[in-house]
Amino acid sequence: MKAIEAAYYIGYRISRAYKTYKKKRLDHPVISVGNLTLGGTGKTPAVIAIAEEALKRGFKPCVLTRGYKGKVKKPMIVSKGNGPLCSPFDAGDEAFLMAERLKGVEIIKSANRYEGSLLSENADLFIIDDGYQHWSLHRDKDILLVDSIDPFGNGRLFPAGTLREPSSEVKRADAVVMTRTSDQSDDITDSLRNINPKASYYNSTVEASWLVRHDGQLLSTGELPKKRAYAFCGIGNPGSFIQSVLRFGVFLVGFKAFRDHHLYTDQNINEIRQEAVKTRADWVLMTEKDLVKLNKFKLPNNFIAIRIDFKIDNGFYDNIFNFNSKALTNK
């Protein structure tokens, strides 16, 4: 371990010990969804899917999210279940997107998820977005997402690598979900079982269900095949977005990657429009997380987002919503 990693690890252990000692418990079940690495592993689509399934099974779910990059720092209600009550700049793009997508689900933004939970009006189930390292709140089920194409980066801790904590912490998970399932998934699952034989393991996929215009209109993904497309995104894993785009059989004429949670400027949008014209693109494609931050711009109708849905075997949901199947002990 390099010195810079060792310094990070010492800080991580101290913070974890202190917050675990101060940990609080809610009166209702808590499910966390997270990962071990920095960057995207598909947490937002997974949280949306879990919340939707919870509704179907009769729960009244509330999503507790940090609201990363949101300007409002105090706990706030992003949605009471009827759409966003604030802007994506106040709430953060992911919190705002969940508020748009999830009807009948409370979305609450708070760095301290326990304090956020106190704002809930009627929830009987809490889902922590990006909660695998949220030591200060007890979780009844920990779901760990692992990117099967790039599970742990270079294997080093931040800032020398992308790991938030050692890969051995797979041992805490109740369920491990492989995202971006590939030919390597089974081999990675076997290696993780050696670390945590008690967890349940699942493969998942993402499917593009709709195209979404800036005015909210939904279009069929059948509009894309054999068309010329220019793409851009500001997400943690731009490679996964490119893979989604290419699956439609488009002719990709250009691509621009911005930093995760990028706040777009007039110059950015003008440059994208110019590149789209120069490359004779039929469509300019982005993620929904990008789209929610572009309402202040006058976008052409060929600027469109790809809606991504998380897909997994129904046995996964039977497992994570079965709170009577094990003693609910502190983690």
Beta bridge partners of 65: 109
Cα 37 to Cα 12: distance, rounded to the nearest angstrom: 14
Q: Quote the distance between the C-alpha of residue 282 and its chain's center.
A: 29
| pLDDT of the residue at 40 | 73
Q: What pLDDT score does 330 carry?
A: 43
Tokens at 302, concatenated = 């060929």
pLDDT at residue 324, as a whole number: 67
Q: What does the pLDDT read at residue 112?
A: 95
Distance CA 138, CA 146 (A): 22
Neighbours of 327 (CB within 10 A): 5
Q: How do the domains of the chain map onto residue ranges?
A: 3-205, 209-310
Looking at residue 330, the DSSP 8-state letter turns out to be -
Q: Which contacts of 116-123 are long-range, i.e. CB under 8 A and separated by 24 or more positions?
A: 116/64, 116/75, 117/26, 117/62, 117/64, 118/75, 119/75, 119/76, 119/77, 120/62, 121/80, 122/60, 123/28, 123/60, 123/61, 123/62
DSSP secondary structure letters along 224-268: -TT-EEEEEE-SS-HHHHHHHHHTTT-EEEEEEE--TT----HHH
pLDDT at 170: 97
Is the CB of residue 81 less than 8 Å from the CB of residue 104?
Answer: yes
Q: Is the CB of residue 38 less than 8 Å from the CB of residue 162?
A: yes
| Other CB atoms within 10 Å distance of the CB of residue 6 | 12
Read off the amino acid at residue 190: D
Q: How far apart are CA 230 and CA 276, in angstroms?
A: 6
3-205: CATH, from 3.90.1480, 3.40.50, 1.10.1160, 1.10.10: 3.40.50
User: Who contacts 86 (Cβ-Cβ below 8 Å, separation ≥6)?
Assistant: 72, 76, 78, 96
The structural architecture, per CATH, of the domain 209-310 is: 3-Layer(aba) Sandwich (3.40)
* Series of mean pLDDT values for 10-residue runs along the chain (331 residues): 89 95 95 91 93 97 93 95 95 95 97 96 96 95 93 90 94 94 83 96 91 91 93 90 89 95 94 96 96 91 94 96 61 47
Region for 280 from its dihedrals, namely left if φ exceeds 0, alpha if ψ lies in -120 to 50, beta otherwise: left
pLDDT at 2 (0 to 100): 81
Domains 3-205 and 209-310 share a fold: yes
Token pair for 89: 């700049």
pLDDT (0 to 100) of residue 325: 45
Rounded CA separation 39/236 (Å): 4
